[in-house]
Amino acid sequence: MALKVAEVLIKWRGEGAQQVEADTKKLGSALTDLGDKAKTAGAVLSAGLTAPLVLIGKQAVDAASDLNESMSAVETVFGSTADQVTNFSRTAASQLGQSRQAALSSAAAMGALFKGVGLTEAQMADFSTSLLQASADLGSFYNVDPGVALDKIRSGLVGEVEGLRQFGILLSAADVEAKALALGLADAN
């Protein structure tokens, strides 16, 4: 572009005003074309950048909402021991390989199960966080997603033991009854 301006100045001195006017129009047209191309490129870049940013923003809002819901569930289920579970969830990504929200959601589901069998809030918090850690360990050892491992553990706790066999855990109704008797959780009747 600097070369075209220099050519215009040389021609103006040597060839006269008509040639300068024609060259100036050419230069103006070239600059207009360049501006139009820049405007088009800007619009494409803007659309290509704006849409992903809007999507990222929506996902961030959804994730924050999910986390808030999970924290609310933990507070409801664990009551006075909710802080214990919440603090445990802060290291979920590094310790469990799960997001904080996934850990809180899983803990709340486990806690609700334990609440139904009469455990105290402290026992529920201890047992839930221990099972979350166990699911992460099983997942790591057997190369399975920790959430899948936790689902299989949860199924095992309610009597569906088939999924636990993948982890080398073999339970039978007779084994469970014998252990319950030994722990004083059930009687012979």
**How far does CA 97 lie from the centroid of its chain?**
11
Q: pLDDT tier at 71 (50, 70, 90 boundaries)?
A: confident
Q: Is the pLDDT score of 142 beyond 90?
A: yes
Q: Is the pLDDT score of 73 beyond 90?
A: no
Q: Is the pLDDT score of 8 beyond 60?
A: no
User: Residue 97 corresponds to which amino acid?
Assistant: G
* C-alpha torsion angle, residues 180, 183, 188, 189 (rounded to 10): -60
Whole-number pLDDT of residue 125: 93
Whole-number pLDDT of residue 184: 75
Give CA–CA dist 1/176, Å, rounded: 86
Whole-number pLDDT of residue 43: 64
pLDDT in tens, 13-67: 555 556 656 665 675 676 677 667 767 766 665 666 666 666 666 666 665 666 6
State both tokens at 56: 């990222």
pLDDT in tens, 84-134: 988 888 888 788 888 888 888 888 988 888 888 888 999 989 989 998 999
pLDDT in tens, 143-159: 998 889 988 988 888 88
Q: Is the pLDDT score of 187 beyond 70?
A: yes
Which comes out higher in pLDDT, residue 187 or 141? 141
Whole-number pLDDT of residue 118: 84
The 3-state secondary structure of the chain, one letter per residue: CHHHHHHHHHHHHHCCHHHHHHHHHHHHHHHHHHHHHHHHHHHHHHHHHHHHHHHHHHHHHHHHHHHHHHHHHHHHHHHHHHHHHHHHHCCHHHHHCCCHHHHHHHHHHHHHHHHHCCCCHHHHHHHHHHHHHHHHHHHHHHCCCHHHHHHHHHHHHCCCCHHHHHHCCCCCHHHHHHHHHHHCCCCCC
Whole-number pLDDT of residue 17: 52
